[in-house]
Amino acid sequence: MATAAHQVTPSEAAANPVPEAIVVRFAGDSGDGMQLTGGQFTLATALAGNDLATFPDFPAEIRAPQGTLFGVSAFQINFGSTAIETAGDAPDVLVAMNPAALKVNVEALKPGGLIIADEGEFTDRNLAKAKYDVNPLSDGSLSKWQLLSFNISQLTLDAVKPFGLGNKEALRCKNMWTLGLALWMFDRDRQPIVDWLKAKFAKKPELAEANIAALNAGHAYGETAEIGGDITQHSVPAAPVEPGLYRTVTGAESISLGLVAGAQLADLPMFFGGYPITPASAILHHLSRLKEFGVTTFQAEDEIAAVASALGASYAGSLGVTSSSGPGIALKTEAIGLAIMTELPLVIINSQRGGPSTGLPTKTEQSDLYQAVYGRNGDAPMPVIAARSPADAFDCAIEAVRIATQYMTPVMLLTDGYIANAAEPWKVPDMAGYAPFPVSFLTQAPESGFLPYGRDEKLARPWVKPGTPGLLHRIGGIEKAQGTGNIDYSPANHQAMTELRRDKVAGIDVPDQDVALGEASGRLAVVGWGSTFGPIHMAVRRARKQGLDVSHIHIRHIWPMPGNMGELLAGYDRILVPEMNTGQLKTVLRDQYLVDATPLNKVSGQPFRIAEIEAAIAACFDGIAGNEGGELPADRTQLPEPMSGHDDGHNKAGEGATSPQSA
């Protein structure tokens, strides 16, 4: 084989700098294996030492009609040699396996970005399904991007022909051919994928070998074909990281591991009662594989049975856990109220999705905050915690277990579809650094007598396993008498018990709120919660590089909020709150602290882009200078002007809501 060498000159290197980060999106039919392709590319990227973040985006239909626009499945990964906080805004590379995938995703591609298309799928029939009148690969409509099209379908058939597969089975290897080309493009090792294929198809070695052949063929095509233009191999250096053991983790995996760790720190067995629902089902799947850690999993017949079984397990002396998304949480609400009335520990995970009702089952949203904080009958306060990323969900799960067991209360942990399904590198922690919080059950009556609803310094009542001699007591949803727990309808008792339950939650020990980036006072604070962390952090970082006085505050403890929150927010001239809802945290902040929080709302089912928040920050500084407000046209993102009506030392401009639902 002929080889050639070339010494790169300094001027050539300066003209072609190595990018710090690259965004790649794989898109195809929901049967093309794009999630699997993206997942394996993520594995190879993590092993290469890059920091990364992913965004799986797939249809709600179990199997949408092939080749249709609403059947497109996509997987986006942002990887680089620097800190990666989001899955990226606009892709640099789009791999489109059919016309529908191209049409749905191409407008998101950066100008000058690369399209890799399987021209073998651009048949008249598939073009018609994608609402194309003419073939976009040949009509010049893609001229603002680089285009690389070839017949991936035929090349795959040629690669797997020796294995005697039928046409349909052979074409299922297309995603491996495409993955092989992507591994070549970004200088990734194939061996981990080969090992995974051999393990996956251990009982059908011919399928393993066929997929490996397709993988190698795609890689070889990149190595040997004259694909020309600027299509070259890119090598992204590893990101600088602290020494330690790392693995990629999704939000669902991270929560599962955090729940197990929390149960171990509390010295409790764990019972998980769940019912399948997107995107929360993965937690049940992961926990079912961790039985050796004292975990019992139960798939109930419905959501109500799931939460009731978990509450029963807590009553019996285990850590009861249940999970769902918004519609399932609505069904669980009465039993959650029972947990509040009986004052038993219970961890409830809400993996939010687009709503209301069935809504957008596979898309992401943050619209269950009201449901978490306020959504029960009666005055029924409950601690609420929000994870900001897949890796952060581990510590949030431990914190939820700590609060539930130490304060004898249900706790809701909020994630969303983006966190649950996305992946990022996670440094596996040394558990010796976590302080245990072992539970103490009451096993005998004190000398002063047994009071089932007596209180300790945290206002928590004692935890008594049923059947403990001498500690018989009433349990149920009817109002309890102070101390004894007997039924008591009296007005004075109900007033006192309502205030005790309120004060117990309000008095929970939570850390002071920190500033994620920037100063503890200034012109503007961008306040977020949940999965908006990444785009907010990157937008604030960019704005600060431009000299803007802006800081990022991200709230983990939604209820009760940190004790210093009011003082911290009062130190800024203006507050901007980006949320994937119509302004729910904004309302909580206005209610609790009377601050002029300006909402930035997005309810498209897609996460925020960095550019959207950058534009909102710029609009806020225009407003501070005297030109209040500003609209963001992209994705119908809404930025009303600040609230008026009270004198709290902040901006007093009148509010201009952009929709009836805003503010």
In CATH terms, 247-433 corresponds, of 3.30.70.420, 3.40.50.970, 3.30.30.10, 3.40.50.300, to 3.40.50.970
Provide the edge-to-edge strand list for the sheet that holds 572-579: 550-555, 522-529, 572-579, 597-601
pLDDT tens digits along 544-589: 999 999 999 999 999 999 999 999 999 999 999 999 999 999 999 9
pLDDT band at 649 (very low <50, low <70, confident <90, very high): very low
525 bridge partner residues: 551, 575
More confident site: 15 or 566: 566
pLDDT tens digits along 258-314: 999 999 999 999 999 999 999 999 999 999 999 999 999 999 999 999 999 999 999
Asked if residues 441 and 408 have their Cβ atoms less than 8 Å apart, the reply is no
Whether pLDDT at 4 is above 90? no
pLDDT tens digits along 481-499: 999 999 999 999 999 999 9
Structure tokens at 576: 């901007």
Residue 539 to residue 528: CA distance in whole angstroms = 12
Opening angle at CA 220, ends 55 and 140, nearest 5: 65
- Beta-strand relationship, 114-118 and 522-529: unpaired
Helix H, strand E, coil C: the string for 81-146 is CCCCCCCCCCCCEEEECCHHHHHHHHHHCCCCCEEEEEHHHCCHHHHHHCCCCCCCCCCCCCCCCE
pLDDT for position 281: 95
pLDDT band at 634 (very low <50, low <70, confident <90, very high): very low
Which CATH fold would you assign to the domain 515-621? Answer: Rossmann fold (3.40.50)
pLDDT tens digits along 216-228: 999 999 988 755 5
pLDDT for position 15: 43
Least confident of 439-448, 521-530, 643-652: 643-652
Asked if residues 578 and 638 have their Cβ atoms less than 8 Å apart, the reply is no
Structure tokens at 287: 């926990």
Structure tokens at 281: 């089902």
Question: What share of the chain has pLDDT > 90, as a percent?
Answer: 85
Longest Cα pair distance anywhere in the chain, in angstroms?
93
Residue 442 to residue 317: CA distance in whole angstroms = 11
pLDDT for position 517: 98
Least confident of 4-8, 45-49, 57-61, 188-192: 4-8
pLDDT for position 460: 97
Residue type, 216: N
Residue 38 to residue 25: CA distance in whole angstroms = 8
Domain ranges of the chain: 20-228, 247-433, 452-509, 515-621
Q: How many CB atoms lie within 10 A of CB 193?
A: 22
Q: Which CATH architecture has domain 20-228?
A: 3-Layer(aba) Sandwich (3.40)
Structure tokens at 634: 């992209």
pLDDT band at 231 (very low <50, low <70, confident <90, very high): low
Rg (CA), the chain: 27
3-state secondary structure of 358: coil
Strand ranges for 402-461 from DSSP E: 410-416, 423-427
Structure tokens at 19: 């990018």
Whether pLDDT at 646 is above 60? no
pLDDT band at 61 (very low <50, low <70, confident <90, very high): confident
Q: Tell me what the mean pLDDT of segment 323-327 comes to.
A: 97
Query: For the chain, what is the mean pLDDT?
Result: 90
Q: Phi-psi category of 446—alpha, beta or left, where left has phi over 0 and alpha has psi -120 to 50?
A: beta
Residue 495 to residue 304: CA distance in whole angstroms = 29
Judge residue 114's burial from the number of C-beta atoms within 10 Å of its C-beta, 0-12 exposed, 13-18 middle, 19 or more buried. Answer: buried
Domains 20-228 and 247-433 belong to one CATH topology: no
Residue 57 φ/ψ, nearest 5 degrees: -140, 105
pLDDT band at 613 (very low <50, low <70, confident <90, very high): very high
- Beta-strand relationship, 51-57 and 72-80: antiparallel
